[in-house]
Amino acid sequence: MPTVPFAPDVFTWPADEPQLIGSRCGVCAAVTFPEQPSCPRCGSVEMARRLFPRRGTLIAWTTQEFLPKAPYAGGETQETFKPFGVGLVQLGDEIRVEGRLTESDPEKLHSGGEVELTIIPFREDGDTQVVTFAFKPV
């Protein structure tokens, strides 16, 4: 089954070692995720594409215990939904990114722990597997 990202230009794909895609302002050095055409801090359009480190530190996390409302576009239904973790991850010294976690067991998650970017199934569109990014404890 072919796989496509849930949105373009969020992470490098296809890739053996995918990375999140952001941007960095050439004027004030502000860093954004996802990529933006102009700087949210100073308004400059001198934004350069930036690939973030694959590994980071879990700063804080929680668990999503119920099926999120729209615009969430995952493939689960009320019947198939399983709780998942959501974490705030520090990537390098540049940026903090909120993302889904592959783990929702509080025993296996702790603030300060190392996590790595991974790509997981999100939903199926016909015969295409839509994928999204997540962080897994390492």
The binding site for Zn ion (CB under 5 A) comprises 25, 27-28, 30, 39, 41-42, 44
Smallest distance, Zn ion to C-beta of residue 48, A: 11
Closer residue to Zn ion (CB): 48 or 120 = 48
Smallest distance, Zn ion to C-beta of residue 91, A: 19
b/e map 93-108, b = 16+ CB within 10 Å:
ebbebebbbebbeeee
Q: Is 39 exposed, middle or buried (0-12, 13-18, 19+ CB in 10 A)?
A: buried
Smallest distance, Zn ion to C-beta of residue 31, A: 10
Closer residue to Zn ion (CB): 40 or 92 = 40
Closer residue to Zn ion (CB): 26 or 83 = 26
Closer residue to Zn ion (CB): 43 or 121 = 43
Smallest distance, Zn ion to C-beta of residue 29, A: 7
Coil, helix or strand for 113? coil
Distances (CA, A) of 110 to 30, 62, 118, 119: 28, 10, 18, 21
